[in-house]
Structure 1
Amino acid sequence: MAPHGTAEPQVRPGIARDLDGLTDLYNHYVLRTPITFDTVPLTPKGRMQWFLSHPEDGPHRLMVATEPTPSGPERLLGYATSSPLRPKAAYATSVEVSVYCAPDAAGRGVGTALYTALFDALAGEDLHRAYAGITQPNAPSHRLHTRFGFRPIGTYEQVGRKFGQYWDVRWYQRELGGSGD
C-alpha cells in the first residue's frame, strides 16, 4: 500500500457513510475561509437534506475523492457537486458546481480528478451550462475552473460579509452540451 498522501485519489459517488467526513471537511471552510458564505458549522444531521439532494444519477451529483489508509477506512480527500442553479423550472438545464479539497490534499490533482469524474457523469444528462461562483481572491480555484473550460462572466462585488470583511464573488460558466443545444 502506498504511504499516506501518495496514492492516486479514488473517485466515486458519495454514500451515506461519507456524511461525517463531508461535513467535517466543509466545516473547515466555514470556520477558516471566505470560500463559503456559511458562517456557522453544520452537523451531519443538518447536512442530510443536502446529501439526499445528490443521488447517484441525474443532473445533481456528489462525487468524493478518497485514498486508502493503512489502518482502516479510506480517507476523504475532497468532493465535488452539481446542484440546481435556481429553483425555477426554466433553470433545470443549468447547474452550479463546486469542489472542496482537504487542505493537506492541495496540489495532488484531487480537484482535477473530482471535476473529471463529475463532468464525465454529467455528460449524458440534459444539461446546457454549468456555473461556479468563486470568492475572490482564489487563484487555485480560478486555475482549476479555467482548465475545465470555464470562463469568467461577471463579478458580484462585495456580495458577502464574513470575518468582518466584504468579499466579491466572480462567476464562471462552462457549456455542457445537453440535448437542448
Structure 2
Amino acid sequence: MPHINIRLVREADSTRILEIYRPYVEETAISFEYEVPTQAEFAERIRSVAREYPYLVYTIDESIIAYAYAHRHMERAAYQWNATLSVYVDSAYQRQGIGKQLYACLMEILKLQNIHNVYGIVKTPNPNSEKLHESFGFRRIGIYRQTGFKQGVWHDVTWFEKSIRDHEANPHAFIPIGDIDPQAIAAILARYGHSS
C-alpha cells in the first residue's frame, strides 16, 4: 500500500518541484511564463513564499508528485487578509483528487493565519482547474479577455473567489506561517495527507 503524505516544503525539494512545473511552461499555456526558471531562481521563489505562507508538497512513498502554495494577493496593507492559491500536479497523477486535497489543506492553514478570502487565477478554458475551484464553492468574479499571448494564441484568464471565514468588524492581523503553532499545522497536514 503506498504511503501518502502532505508536508511543508523543504529547501531540497526545489529540484523535483521544478521538474513538475517545467511541462506547464514548455508544453502548455497554463503558466504564462515563456522560459523555465533557473534552479536558483526557482529555489528563491519557494523560499520567498514559504517565509510567510504555506507551501505544501504531496508525496507518495516519499516521492513528490504535486505541490501547492498560497501567496500574497496584493501588496497594500488593506489586502493582507487575502491570498492567491496555486497547485501543480505531475501529469501522471492528474484527475485523482490530489489538487483537491492540497487546496483543502492550504485553506485550513490559511484560516489559522487570519486569511479571509482566497483567489484562484485560471487560464481558461482549463476544465480541471475550473472544476477544482467550483467543487470548493469558489465564485467566478471576472474574466480578463485575451490577456495573455502564448503558443501563438490569445488566452482568457478567469478569477475565482471564496471567503473562508467570517468578515468581522475588527479582524486580527495576518500571521506569518512561522508564527503559527507547529502542532496545529501538523494536525491539518495529518488530516489531509494519509496513507490509502
TM-score by length of 1: 0.87
Higher share of residues assigned strand = 1
Aligned partners of 2:13, 2:90: CA distance in 1, in Å? 14
Secondary structure of the structure 2 residue equivalent to 1:18: helix
Equivalent positions of 1:10-159 (< 5 A) are 10-55=5-50, 58=52, 60-68=53-61, 74-159=62-147
Cα drift, residue 9 of structure 1: 3.4
The one-letter code matched in structure 2 to 1:101 is V
In percent, how many aligned pairs have the same letter? 28
Cα 1:154–1:12 shift into 2, 3 Å: same
2:174 matches 1:174: no
Where structure 1 has 5 or more consecutive residues not aligned to the other structure, the ranges are: 69-73
The one-letter code matched in structure 2 to 1:64 is V
Cα drift, residue 78 of structure 1: 0.7
Aligned partners of 2:134, 2:60: CA distance in 1, in Å? 26
Secondary structure of the structure 2 residue equivalent to 1:168: strand
Q: Over aligned residue pairs, what C-alpha RMSD do you find?
A: 1.7
Residue-pair matches, total: 169
Q: Residue 122 of structure 2 contacts residue 159 of structure 2 at CA under 8 Å; is this kept in 1?
A: yes
2:163 matches 1:163: no
Name which of structure 1's ranges 45-54 and 95-104 shifts more when overlaid on structure 2.
45-54
Where structure 2 has 5 or more consecutive residues not aligned to the other structure, the ranges are: 173-196
Cα 1:156–1:8 shift into 2, 3 Å: farther
Aligned partners of 1:148, 1:85: CA distance in 2, in Å? 19
TM-score by length of 2: 0.81
Cα drift, residue 8 of structure 1: 5.9
Deviations 1:90-145 (A, max 9, x none): 21111111111000101222111111211121121121211111101111111111
Aligned partners of 2:95, 2:115: CA distance in 1, in Å? 30
Name which of structure 1's ranges 95-104 and 45-54 shifts more when overlaid on structure 2.
45-54
The one-letter code matched in structure 1 to 2:116 is H
Aligned partners of 1:98, 1:8: CA distance in 2, in Å? 24
Cα drift, residue 55 of structure 1: 2.8
Aligned partners of 1:77, 1:108: CA distance in 2, in Å? 12
Higher share of residues assigned helix = 2
Cα 1:8–1:170 shift into 2, 3 Å: farther
Q: Residue 77 of structure 1 contacts residue 110 of structure 1 at CA under 8 Å; is this kept in 2?
A: no
Secondary structure of the structure 2 residue equivalent to 1:54: helix
Secondary structure of the structure 2 residue equivalent to 1:79: strand
Name which of structure 1's ranges 42-51 and 154-163 shifts more when overlaid on structure 2.
42-51
